[in-house]
Structure 1
Amino acid sequence: MVEKIKNYLKRQLSSGPKVISAVLLVLAISTVAIYSMRKTVIVSIDGKEQKITTLSSNYKSALGNNSIVVGPKDKTVPSLDSKIKNGAKISIKRAVNVQVAVDGKQLTIKSAEDNIEKMLEAEGIGLQDFDKVSPSKNEALKDGLKVSVVRVQTKEVKEIKAIDYATVVKKDDDTEQGSNKILQEGQPGEKETISKVVYEDNKEVGRKVISETIKKQPVQKIVAMGTLGVYTPSRGGRVLYKDAIRMRSTAYTSNYADTGKGPGDAEFGITASGTVAKRNGDSYSSVAVDPRVIPLGTKLYIEGYGYAVAEDTGGAIKGNRIDLFFNSSSEVRSWGVKWVNVYVIK
């Protein structure tokens, strides 16, 4: 503009004094106008201030003419398009680099926001109520800051689970030990479980059962377990017994010397149970017992003697004593007195 004025003056000087006066007036007015357009601006960059002078009408042009570059993520107050007044101040906050780990990604973000929460909002990274942010959302931004966002979700999960059935063991007094029989097969039940499950970045980190409902009751398994012992006589076979007693055995016959009754007596050869005393090698023979130890009518197997029935008693037969019936006195003498195992059978 000044050059235009100079050129104009050169052309007009040759026209005489009047023209020169007019030109000088124009020059003076122009100079005043130029100085009136010139403004001083205070520029604060991250708190550090400097002054610039400018003829520009807005901050964007003024900063550019003074080689002050404003990045796309830098923040200015007022805006770059604002009109400049002399003595005005513009504050520039430089964006810093922040590393953000979110949704399985590693992002490098330039931001001039005040804190992490405002940065995430400005970048369109939304937060739900239970999301975790580290450091705190109120942490101020600084260059190189690392931020982690963990997505937290809570869901109610419904599951059908099996209920184990119980096994009940019952004694089977008709079966030998070690022999088991299934009386009823077990069946598992079902229950519906509703759990509150917490996920962090889609990985389960916690679970709490909030309700359980039985949909099907389990059916218990019932097993019969044999209780009878097994005795194998030397003559062969197997004897199933429910108890075994070690007893002192003697022998007797129906004669007067053993019973105090003769053949003419009405009770000759009759046991305390009212049966006829007998010795039967192939079946059950009569024996005398103490009913307090072995009740009358109990079936027995006697080691070395065979099968017997507790049918008789005797004045000397007390406690763990047993008297075995034989048909002859020679058999009685042959048996004598000995300790035997007496098996109580079914």
Structure 2
Amino acid sequence: MVEKFGTCLKKYFPRGPKIEMEFVISISLVILTLVMFNMRKTVTISVDGKNIKAVTLGHSYRKVLASNGIKIGPRDKVVPSLDSKVKDKSKLTIKRAVRVEVEVDGKKLSTESAEDSVEKLLKSENIRISNLDRVYPSREHAILRGMKIVVTRVQIKDLKESRAIKYETVLKNDAQIKYGDKKLLQEGQNGEKEIVTRVTYENGKEVSRKTMREIVKKEPVKKVVAVGTLTGNTLSRGESIDYARSVKMKATAYTADYQSTGKRPGDPAFGITASGTVARRDTEKYSSIAVDPRVIPLGTKLYVEGYGYAVAEDTGGAIKGNRVDLFFNSNSEASNWGVKWVDVYVIG
């Protein structure tokens, strides 16, 4: 460049004295040197975190890299841009692209990227991901050489369907209907319910199903059938009654006294049954007896062989299972009864 400058001076000053010519050339060289010094810029080039100092007269970063033998790949990221104007004491950052593999939508994509994160890489490759989609490694994970990124498409759908609610059949004993016969009292009707099921799909395949809610749209109507329990039979003593069933039971006897009940006259509960009635022995109508409510419900009318008609009104600590305790008005009557196995007929 200096030689060209000297040649240029000789062209415009061909006849001047030699000393004057040399003086002009010297002054010009000094000026040129000062100009070139002022045009010189220092740039720090950072390549994947490693810094290189470079001095340049170039006007663009592209020329800076070319003069330093640094090549840029098509996927490398350079900041500032290669064609931007060089500034003194500036820093040029280069991030080299690395090869990664992306598995998404049934395809495998091999690409190079210099992006900072998995999410930015996917965006740069025009791979859209929803908030439900699963990405491995995570979307915030830094890009590493040779890494494999897997995108699992996730879909959630709420499915609605109507289902029938089957009606129940209720059987009711009816002592007014002959044993074994049945009578329809109420026709049954199915109800209807709406079921909302949440189904989760991964890459188009169902992976889970969960019932979210059930809404009854129509209540079912029970079917009610009366079942006859009326039977006509002759008791052992020749008396004929209608009864539903008979049970062989152990029969004992008790009175209202302290020995049987643990209560004395004057006690508010003296002579009162578990049903709240006054214990009685009525040979013309119904007498009070104690039962195990798990076997014979309280309030059931009975006929006890050798004792007569009775109502299950009382209970007792020792009256368990197939056992009844018959009430008598006196200790002598209770003592005469003793303990017997008798047939007990359920009549209502």
Shorter-chain TM-score bucket reads: 0.5 to 0.7
Residue number in structure 2 paired with 1:67: 69
Cα shift at 1:290? 7.5
Of 1-10 and 194-203, more deviation after overlay is shown by: 1-10
Question: Does the CA-based 8 Å contact 2:161-2:194 persist in structure 1?
Answer: yes
Cα–Cα, structure 1 residues 84 and 221, in superposed 2: closer, same or farther, change >3 Å?
Answer: same
Aligned partner (choices 220, 233, 236) of residue 292 of structure 1: 236
CA radius of gyration, larger in: 1
Cα shift at 1:139? 1.7
Aligned partner (choices 106, 109, 114) of residue 108 of structure 2: 106
Cα separation, 2, equivalents of 1:294 and 1:101: 93
Cα shift at 1:6? 4.2
Correspondence 1:159 to 2:161: yes
Residue number in structure 2 paired with 1:203: 205
> What secondary structure, in the 3-state scheme, does the structure 1 residue paired with 2:58 have?
coil
Cα–Cα, structure 1 residues 114 and 293, in superposed 2: closer, same or farther, change >3 Å?
Answer: farther
Cα separation, 1, equivalents of 2:240 and 2:88: 132
Number of aligned residues: 238
Q: Structure 2 length normalisation: TM-score?
A: 0.53
Q: How does 1:1-346 map to 2 (within 5 A)?
A: 1-9=1-9, 11=11, 14-17=14-17, 18-164=20-166, 190-215=192-217, 291-292=235-236
Of 17-26 and 90-99, more deviation after overlay is shown by: 17-26
Instruction: Identify unmatched segments of 5+ residues in structure 1.
Output: 176-181, 226-241, 243-288, 299-346
Instruction: Identify unmatched segments of 5+ residues in structure 2.
Output: 243-348
Cα separation, 1, equivalents of 2:15 and 2:79: 53
User: Which residue identity does 2:58 align to in structure 1?
Assistant: S
Cα separation, 2, equivalents of 1:95 and 1:159: 52
For residues 238-262 of structure 1, what are the alpha-carbon distances to aligned partners after superposition, in whole Å with 9 as ceiling and x for unaligned? Answer: xxxx9xxxxxxxxxxxxxxxxxxxx
> What secondary structure, in the 3-state scheme, does the structure 2 residue paired with 1:139 have?
coil
For residues 21-75 of structure 1, what are the alpha-carbon distances to aligned partners after superposition, in whole Å with 9 as ceiling and x for unaligned? Answer: 3333333322332333233322111112223332211212211232212233322
Cα shift at 1:193? 0.9
Question: Does the CA-based 8 Å contact 2:234-2:241 persist in structure 1?
Answer: no
Q: Structure 1 length normalisation: TM-score?
A: 0.53
Cα separation, 1, equivalents of 2:103 and 2:152: 8
**C-alpha root-mean-square deviation of aligned residues, in Å?**
4.2
Cα separation, 1, equivalents of 2:87 and 2:74: 24
Query: Structure 1 vs Structure 2: percent identity of aligned residues?
Result: 46
